[in-house]
A and B are shown apart, each in its own frame.
Chain A
Amino acid sequence: MSEPTEPPWTAEQVQGLAPDASSFTAARKLAGASGWSATGHGGTPAGLWGLCKGSGSNPYQICIDLTEPAYRCSCPSRKFPCKHALALLLRWSSGQVADTEPPQWMTEWTDSRGSRAAKKAEQAAAPRTEAQERAAQRRAGKRAESVAAGIAELRTWLSDQVRHGIAGLDQAGYRPFEQVAARLVDAQAPGLAAAVRRLAPLPSSGPGWEQRLLAELSLLHLLAGAAANPDALPEELAATVSSRVGQAVTTEQVLAGEPVRDRWQVVGTRDDTEDKLTSRRVWLRGRDTGRAALVLSFAMPGQALPVDLVLGTELDAELTYYPGAAPLRAVVAARHGAPRSCPVPGPAQTVAQALDEVGAALAADPWLFQWPVLVRGVLAPGSPWHLVDPDGDALPLDPALAEPWRLAAVAGGQEITLAAEWGPAGLRPLAVYDGTEVSRA
Chain B
Amino acid sequence: MSTSIWSDLMSSALVGTDRRRLVLPGTDGPLATVLAALGGELGPDGLLSAAAAVTVARRAGQTPARTSRPEPATAETAPYASPAAQQRLAALLSGGSVELDRTTTRELAGEWLRVAADRGLLAGPAILVALLDLGSADTAARAAVRSVGGARLGWLALQGPGRWAWAVQQDAPAQAADWDTGRLADRVRYLTELRARDAAAGRDLLAQAWPQEKASDLAALLAACGTGLGPDDEPWLEHTLDDRRAQVREAAARLLGALPGSAYRQRMADRALACVHVADRRLVATPPAEYDDTMRRDGISAKPSTGVGERTHWLRQIIEYAPLDCWTAFDPTPAGLLSRKFDDTWGAVLRAGLTRAAITQRHAAWAAVLILDGIGRHDMNELRELAAVMPEQDLAELIAAQLRRKVDAVVRFLDVLPQPWPAPVADAVLECLADTERRRSGWWQLLRHAEWGFDPAYAGKARALHDSLPTADQQLLVRFTTMLQIRLDIHQELS
Q: Report A's interface with B, CB cutoff 8 A.
A: 11-12, 25-26, 28-29, 31-34, 90, 93-96, 155, 158-167, 210-211, 214-215, 217-219, 221-222, 225, 351-352, 355, 358-359, 362-363, 366, 378-382, 386, 388-389, 392-396, 405-406, 408-410, 412-414, 424, 439
Range of interface residues on chain B?
Answer: 35 or more
Q: Are B64 and A355 in contact, CB atoms less than 8 angstroms apart?
A: yes
**In the assembled complex, which residues on chain B have CB atoms less than 8 Å from the CB atom of A410?**
125-126
User: How far in angstroms is the closest Cβ of chain B from A420?
Assistant: 14
Q: Are A393 and B66 in contact, CB atoms less than 8 angstroms apart?
A: yes
Q: Are A158 and B48 in contact, CB atoms less than 8 angstroms apart?
A: yes
Nearest first, the 9 A-B pairs at minimum CB distance are A165-B16, A393-B64, A218-B51, A413-B72, A28-B91, A221-B48, A218-B52, A412-B73, A362-B60
Q: A163 with B69: in contact, given A32-B91, A412-B152, A439-B126 (CB under 8 Å)?
A: no
Q: Are B129 and A406 in contact, CB atoms less than 8 angstroms apart?
A: yes
User: How far in angstroms is the closest Cβ of chain A from B78?
Assistant: 15
**In the assembled complex, which residues on chain A have CB atoms less than 8 Å from the CB atom of B126?**
12, 406, 409-410, 439
Given A11, A163, A210, which contacts B10 in the complex, CB threshold below 8 Å?
A210
Known contacts A32-B88, A163-B43, A362-B56, then 17 further A-B pairs from the complex at CB < 8 Å, ordered by chain A residue: A12-B126, A33-B99, A93-B83, A164-B18, A167-B15, A210-B13, A211-B10, A217-B51, A218-B55, A221-B48, A225-B49, A358-B59, A381-B70, A388-B68, A393-B66, A409-B129, A413-B72
Given B52, B60, B67, B86, which contacts A222 in the complex, CB threshold below 8 Å?
B52
**In the assembled complex, which residues on chain B have CB atoms less than 8 Å from the CB atom of A211?**
6, 10
**In the assembled complex, which residues on chain B have CB atoms less than 8 Å from the CB atom of A210?**
10, 13-14
Q: Which residue of A lies closest to B130 (CB)?
A: A406
Given B50, B69, B160, which contacts A388 in the complex, CB threshold below 8 Å?
B69
Q: Are A394 and B91 in contact, CB atoms less than 8 angstroms apart?
A: no
User: How far in angstroms is the closest Cβ of chain A from B72?
Assistant: 4
A34 to B489 alpha-carbon distance, docked (Å)? 10
Main secondary structure of the interface of B (DSSP, over half): helix
B156 at the interface (CB under 8 A from A): yes
B95 at the interface (CB under 8 A from A): yes
Q: Are B160 and A219 in contact, CB atoms less than 8 angstroms apart?
A: no
B87 at the interface (CB under 8 A from A): yes
User: How far in angstroms is the closest Cβ of chain A from B166?
Assistant: 16
User: How far in angstroms is the closest Cβ of chain A from B47?
Assistant: 5
A90 to B95 alpha-carbon distance, docked (Å)? 18
- In this complex, which of A165, A210, A355 has the most chain B Cβ atoms within 10 angstroms of its Cβ? A165
Q: List which B429-485 residues lie within 8 A (CB) of chain A.
A: 485
A388 to B72 alpha-carbon distance, docked (Å)? 13
B337 at the interface (CB under 8 A from A): no
Given A90, A218, A351, A366, which contacts B64 in the complex, CB threshold below 8 Å?
A351
Given A28, A96, A218, which contacts B48 in the complex, CB threshold below 8 Å?
A218
Q: A94 with B48: in contact, given A219-B56, A413-B70 (CB under 8 Å)?
A: no
Q: Are A32 and B87 in contact, CB atoms less than 8 angstroms apart?
A: yes
B19 at the interface (CB under 8 A from A): yes
Q: Are A409 and B60 in contact, CB atoms less than 8 angstroms apart?
A: no
